[in-house]
Amino acid sequence: MFRVRLAAVALAGLLAAACEPGTFYADLKGETTVSGNPLPVDPILSAFAPFGAFTNVDFDANQDFQNAGVTKDQVGSVMVSFFLLKITSPSTQDFSFLDSISFYAKAGDTEALIAGKTGIASMNLHAPNPELILDLESVELQPFITAPAMSIVVRGSGRVPPSDTALQANVKLKVGVKLL
């Protein structure tokens, strides 16, 4: 009987933590293409094209914010809870061309590192369509989210892949609403 009660108490605690009042999750998805070079010269990859949906993000237009009935001015806290990078095409491409990648929140002249990974080429993330979970930084994003304009910019290093490579980034944000 004691074990049943202990299990019930533990389950109730987990459910309460999962349903924090005034908290919801918002998803952002962005895509970009790294231009390829089929020549065997192995040129250095020094820049990334922006992830389209990560430029001038309007959180008031975000479906998860709208579903929660929250505007960006009502946000009290925002933290990245998950950041995934995936190769969507070609299906034969792996992450061996990429050494490191970092993503930054940017508003005006202010930037903050939010996620990244190093040593990617040696991680043996094989095709087809490999996924890379990035290491997260503990950064409060509320000032970025509530700024007039916010973007997520990418920097990295590696070698140009042999063909154009499409990347998709999936970001999950834990959003805390200001208590009135």
Amino acid at 61: A
When comparing pLDDT for 17 and 166, which is higher?
166
Q: Calculate mean pLDDT across residues 133-157.
A: 95
* Helix ranges, the chain (H): 2-18, 63-68, 142-145
Q: Calculate mean pLDDT across residues 149-177.
A: 95
When comparing pLDDT for 7 and 66, which is higher?
66
Question: Hey, CA dihedral for 60, 76, 74, 148, is it positive or negative?
Answer: negative
- Min mean pLDDT across 6-20, 25-39, 65-79 is at 6-20
Domains of the chain (ranges; CATH) run 23-177 (2.60.120)
Q: Calculate mean pLDDT across residues 49-74.
A: 93
Helices (runs of H) and strands (runs of E) counted in the chain: 3, 9
Q: Which residues of 111-135 are buried (b: 16+ CB within 10 A; e: fewer)?
A: eeebbbbeebbeeebeeebbebebe
pTM value is 0.85
Q: Calculate mean pLDDT across residues 156-160.
A: 94
Distance CA 144, CA 108 (A): 9
